[in-house]
């Protein structure tokens, strides 16, 4: 049985009670978190429950056109008032470069591709978080009233460290 089949079985069991049914699309704690897809990061790490926050994830926890899209919907349509950007130590995107990643995948696949335009590989994690904050703070559709803060999650000790960008 594939993992997806196992998930379908688990969903059958979940649906008997469907305990998350009372939740609405609006995050209860008016928080949006942009972070990496890394397996070691979870709402548990942040003391959050399902329904508390929007969790927007991509490789690296990068402010891309698409994560901005999600954050705009989160604030303007669904009422979030604080944005948290979290990168983490030992991120896959830190162990490579833009060109290396592109070459590796191209060699495995035996063909070139025009998309994605960027993988957003990075070397300095503090700098990378600051860069993401800057992209959000300068966006004309994100009002000053939205609190935007950035962090590095240390996968070895489980702690968040805040990155100040001013
Ligand atoms: Zn990562």
Instruction: Give 153 Cα–ligand 1 centroid separation in angstroms.
Output: 10
Instruction: Give 2 Cα–ligand 1 centroid separation in angstroms.
Output: 25
Instruction: Give 21 Cα–ligand 1 centroid separation in angstroms.
Output: 31
Of all residues in the chain, the percent with pLDDT exceeding 90 is: 98
Instruction: Give 141 Cα–ligand 1 centroid separation in angstroms.
Output: 27
Instruction: Give 35 Cα–ligand 1 centroid separation in angstroms.
Output: 8
Report residue 135 CA to chain centroid gap. 15
| Residues 135, 147, 31, 128, CA torsion sign | positive
Query: SS3 string of 135-153?
Result: HHHCCCCCCCCCEEEEEEE
Alpha-carbon distance of 157 to 154, in angstroms, equals: 6
Closest by CA position to 132, among listed 77, 56, 61 = 61
Q: What is the pLDDT of residues 97-116, one digit of tens each?
A: 999 999 999 999 999 999 99
pLDDT of 1: 87
Instruction: Give 22 Cα–ligand 1 centroid separation in angstroms.
Output: 32
Instruction: Give 94 Cα–ligand 1 centroid separation in angstroms.
Output: 8
Instruction: Give 44 Cα–ligand 1 centroid separation in angstroms.
Output: 17
- Mean of pLDDT values over 21-28: 97
Report residue 43 CA to chain centroid gap. 11
């Amino acid at each position: 049985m594939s993992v997806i089949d196992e998930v379908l079985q688990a969903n059958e069991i979940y649906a008997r009670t469907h305990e998350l049914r009372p939740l609405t699309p609006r995050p209860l704690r008016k928080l949006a978190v942009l972070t990496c897809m890394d397996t070691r990061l979870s709402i548990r790490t942040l003391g959050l429950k399902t329904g508390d926050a929007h969790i927007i994830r991509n490789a690296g926890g990068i402010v891309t056109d698409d994560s901005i899209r999600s954050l705009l919907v989160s604030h303007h349509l669904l009422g979030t008032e604080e944005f948290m950007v979290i990168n983490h130590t030992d991120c896959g995107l830190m162990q490579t470069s833009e060109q290396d990643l592109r070459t590796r995948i191209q060699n495995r696949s035996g063909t070139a591709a025009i998309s994605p335009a960027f993988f957003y590989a990075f070397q300095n994690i503090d700098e990378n978080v600051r860069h993401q904050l800057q992209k959000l703070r300068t966006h004309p559709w994100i009002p000053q009233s939205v609190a935007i803060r950035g962090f590095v999650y240390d996968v070895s000790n489980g702690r968040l460290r805040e990155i100040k960008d001013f």
